[in-house]
Amino acid sequence: MALLPAFCVRADESGATHPATQEAHRPRAATTKPAEETPVITDHEATIAGKSIKYQAAAGMLTLKDDLDKPRAKMFYVAYTVPGDSNRPVTFVFNGGPGAAAIWLHLGTAGPMRVKLNEDGTTLPPPYALVPNEFSWLDLTDLVFIDPVGTGYSRAEPEKGKEFYSVQGDVSSVGDFIRLYVTQNQRWASPKFIAGESYGTTRAAGLSEYLHDRFGLDLNGVVLISTVLNFQTLSFDTGNDTAYPLYLPTYAATAWYHKKISQDKPVKLQDFVQQAREFAETQYTTALVRGNALPDDERAKVEASLANFTGLPIDYVRKANLRISPHRFEKALLSDQHKIIGRMDGRITAHDADPLSGAPEFDPSVDGYVGVFSGTFNQYIRQELKYENEQPYEFLSPRVGPWDWGKDNGYVNVATNLRECITKLPSLKVFVAQGYYDFATPFAASDYTLDQMPLSKELRGNITRQYYEGGHMMYLNQPALEKLKKDLAAFYTNTLRTAVKN
pLDDT (tens digit per residue) in 283-324:
999 999 999 999 999 999 999 999 999 999 999 999 999 999
Question: Does residue 154 fall inside a structural domain?
Answer: yes
Give tens-digit pLDDT for 63-75: 999 998 999 999 9
Q: Looking at 311-434, list the stretches that DSSP marks H as alpha helix, in order from N- to C-terminal side.
A: 314-319, 326-332, 364-383, 415-424
Span 21-38, mean pLDDT?
A: 45
- The answer on 202 and 153 residing in a single domain is yes
Question: Does residue 454 fall inside a structural domain?
Answer: yes
- The answer on 302 and 227 residing in a single domain is no
In this prediction, residue 399 carries a pLDDT of 85
DSSP class of residue 137 equals S
Instruction: Catalogue the E-assigned strands of 303-346.
Output: 339-341
- The answer on 407 and 326 residing in a single domain is no
Give tens-digit pLDDT for 148-200: 999 999 999 998 888 999 999 999 999 999 999 999 999 999 999 999 999 99
Give tens-digit pLDDT for 225-248: 999 999 999 999 988 999 999 999
Question: Does residue 128 fall inside a structural domain?
Answer: yes
In this prediction, residue 465 carries a pLDDT of 98
Question: Does residue 4 fall inside a structural domain?
Answer: no
pLDDT at residue 379 is higher than 50:
yes
- The answer on 153 and 246 residing in a single domain is no
- The answer on 318 and 436 residing in a single domain is no
Domain count for the chain: 2
- The answer on 358 and 398 residing in a single domain is no
Domain endpoint, select from 300, 330, 362: 362
Question: Does residue 111 fall inside a structural domain?
Answer: yes
CB contact at 8 A, 433 and 196:
no
- The answer on 337 and 430 residing in a single domain is no
Domain range enclosing 321:
236-362
In this prediction, residue 16 carries a pLDDT of 40
Give tens-digit pLDDT for 41-91: 999 999 999 999 999 999 999 999 999 899 999 999 999 999 988 789 999
Question: Does residue 76 fall inside a structural domain?
Answer: yes
- The answer on 423 and 313 residing in a single domain is no
CB contact at 8 A, 232 and 441:
no
- The answer on 461 and 403 residing in a single domain is yes
Domain endpoint, select from 307, 330, 362: 362
pLDDT at residue 17 is higher than 70:
no
CB contact at 8 A, 121 and 366:
no
pTM to 2 decimals?
0.91
In this prediction, residue 357 carries a pLDDT of 87
Domain endpoint, select from 305, 338, 362: 362
Give tens-digit pLDDT for 169-178: 999 999 999 9
Give tens-digit pLDDT for 380-399: 999 999 999 999 999 999 88
Q: What is the CATH number of the domain that holds 208?
A: 3.40.50.1820
**What phi and psi values does residue 232 have, to the nearest 5 degrees?**
-65, -30
Question: Does residue 3 fall inside a structural domain?
Answer: no
Q: What percent of the chain has pLDDT over 70?
A: 91
Residues 6+ apart with CB under 8 A from 280: 245, 246, 248, 249, 444
Average pLDDT, the chain: 90
- The answer on 167 and 23 residing in a single domain is yes
Give tens-digit pLDDT for 109-153: 999 999 999 999 999 999 999 999 999 999 999 999 999 999 999
- The answer on 345 and 484 residing in a single domain is no
DSSP class of residue 51 equals E
Question: Does residue 1 fall inside a structural domain?
Answer: no
- The answer on 187 and 48 residing in a single domain is yes
Closest to 37 measured CA to CA, from 181, 172, 149: 181
